[in-house]
Each structure stands twice: as structure tokens, then as C-alpha cells.
Amino acid sequence: MNIASNALIESGAVTSVYDLLRQRCGLSQADAASFHDTRIDTIKSWCSDRRTAPAGVLDELRDLYADISEAGDELADVVKLMPQRDANGIFFQVGTPLDNEDAIACGFPCEGSCLAAVALAIASLPGPARIVPRVRGAIPTAVSQKKSQSSRVTVYHFKVYDTVNDRYVVPVRKSPMERIKMIGGEPLMETAERIQPSALDLFGRYEGSDPVTPTAKFSLRAREIIKRYGLESWVSAKPSNLRIDGIPRIAFTFEDGNEVHFEAGICKRLSIELNSFGETEAAQVFDAILKQV
């Protein structure tokens, strides 16, 4: 058992909500990159709080921890029925995964997550415990049923290269990672959202709420005002599922495929300034965005 490679708590202070949940789930940073199907650099930025982990990603960890907790409870119930005795009295024998592959076979993303469930089981036992490598049919370990994870799916906005117009475009609908890779797209990780599988259409796409697009042709003066707010070349906007300190945000998608989550108040400030210069048509666009929040 290679505990060192999947330590439950890595060295260093916890620096973000994401980092705390990741460690609580027994994921190393490398494990987390595999679990979320993203780059290790992205994981490090979420851990250090250089970038705030999107709500959908945090939900993935919450679902994983729910599975870990359930698996720990079930393991404890089984072990309680199999008390052992030696010269020192009664004890409980708890199995651990043989290695990382064995933990994956037990339904976990890595050995660390399985060990997290084992630790929860041990904590709820009524007496002393001894850990040994698991033996099928004799010494049980934690097994995840993935009940929480399988009940929801993570979808993302993504960018895909438009060879006709020689640029990247962002489809309006979100899709699961499997579909994005199948069509050669690149997921925008900050747009992660956990949904019920039934919300996907026949093609595996998720529409969600309709985004607002700038149908009005902005004047030169309106474009200059919008540019000062960092919203030059935005193509659509919709309420974000990301909140920081309870403040609602708007997810603006840009021509290059990037999505940036601005505080919703930016729309109100833009509307006021645009109206003050007589740019009422442009102001109405941002009023429409704000009404969705």
C-alpha cells in the first residue's frame, strides 16, 4: 500500500476551500487532476486560490465525499459483525486497499479516497481496530457505490476551432467532458456545473438558461465605455453558478472562448453610464442581463 503517494493531508497550509475539500477526499493534486480531468496547473491554481474553483468542481468533491462517507458507514456496519478476539480482548479488523488499482476497483478515484472512507469507518467502531491488507470474503475494505456521483453529471462550456472562419467559437450549450473530447473541443473549466443527466438533450447537450447576446449594434462611444469595464468582445452573458461572499456574478463569454465571472453590479454601473451618454439601446442590453440574476 503506497500511502505516501496518496497522502490524506499533504504538507503545507490549506489555502482555499477547494484545497480543504480535496484533502478531505484523500486526493493528491495529481489525483485531483485525474479526477476532474484537467491539468495539474489548474489544480494548483485552485489550491492556492489564485483562481477560485468553480461551483461545479466543488460540487464534484462534495459528491465524492458523500460517497466516501457512505462507504465508511457501510464498512463500519460490516466490520462490527466480525469482531476478533486475542489475549488483549476484542478488536476489529479493517482492510485497506492493496494498491491504487485495487482502490479504483473498489469504486474510488484513488487509494487516498478509499483510505479516507476506511478512516471514517475506524472512527465509528466501538473498540480498537487493526488495519491489514484486505482479503476478499474475509477482511473487507471500503467500497463506493458511487450513488451520489452517478446521480449527476458535470457539464462545461467549451471552445472548438472553426476552420471555415479560422477562429475558436464557443457553442451556446454546455456538454459533458466525454462529448467535448469526442468533437475535439477544449473545456472551459471555470464553467463547470453539476446537473441531473435527464437535463441533457438527445445529443448530450445542456442548454440551461438562455444567455443574453448583444443583438444591438453598439456605437463607437458605447464600445469605448464597455471596453473600459473589461467587456470588449463579449459574445454572451448569463448568471454564473459561482458566488464569492454571497455576491451574485455574471458569466461573460468572449470571442476567444474564455469565460470570466464578473460581479453582477458591473451591469448596473454600465447601464447607468451608458444612459448618461444617451446610449439607451446598449444600456438595455445590460439591463436584460441583470434581470436574469
The predicted model gives 59-77 an average pLDDT of: 94
The answer to whether residues 214 and 93 belong to one domain is: no
DSSP string for residues in 101-138: HHHHHTT-SSHHHHHHHHHHHHHT-SS-EEEEE-BTTT
The answer to whether residues 123 and 201 belong to one domain is: no
The residue with cell 441583470 is 290
The answer to whether residues 181 and 226 belong to one domain is: no
The predicted model gives 35-45 an average pLDDT of: 92
Tell me which of 208, 223, 253 is where a domain ends: 208
Residues 241-282 pLDDT 10s = 666 566 788 888 887 777 788 889 999 999 999 999 999 999
The answer to whether residues 132 and 48 belong to one domain is: yes
Cβ neighbours of 266 (radius 10 Å)? 18
Q: Is the separation of the CB atoms in 34 and 73 below 8 Å? A: no
The answer to whether residues 257 and 199 belong to one domain is: no
Strand intervals (E) in the chain: 84-86, 89-96, 129-133, 153-156, 158-162, 167-169, 175-176, 186-187, 193-195, 234-239, 249-254, 259-263
- Angle at CA of residue 31, ends 27 and 32, nearest 5°: 75
The answer to whether residues 137 and 251 belong to one domain is: no
- 76 or 52, which is more confident: 76
The answer to whether residues 141 and 8 belong to one domain is: yes
pLDDT at residue 6, rounded to an integer: 40
The answer to whether residues 16 and 89 belong to one domain is: yes
The answer to whether residues 145 and 12 belong to one domain is: yes
What is the CATH classification number for the domain harbouring 139?
A: 1.10.3100.10
3-state secondary structure at position 65: helix
- Angle at CA of residue 219, ends 213 and 223, nearest 5°: 70
The answer to whether residues 120 and 87 belong to one domain is: yes
Tell me which of 112, 131, 149 is where a domain ends: 149
> What pTM value is reported for the model?
0.65
Residues 161-211 pLDDT 10s = 888 878 888 787 889 999 999 989 999 887 888 888 888 888 888 877 667
Range of the domain at 234: 209-293
pLDDT at residue 278, rounded to an integer: 94
Tell me which of 208, 231, 253 is where a domain ends: 208
The answer to whether residues 162 and 236 belong to one domain is: no
The count of domains in the chain is 3
Least Cα distance to 197 among 149, 262, 140, 161 occurs for 149
The answer to whether residues 224 and 238 belong to one domain is: yes
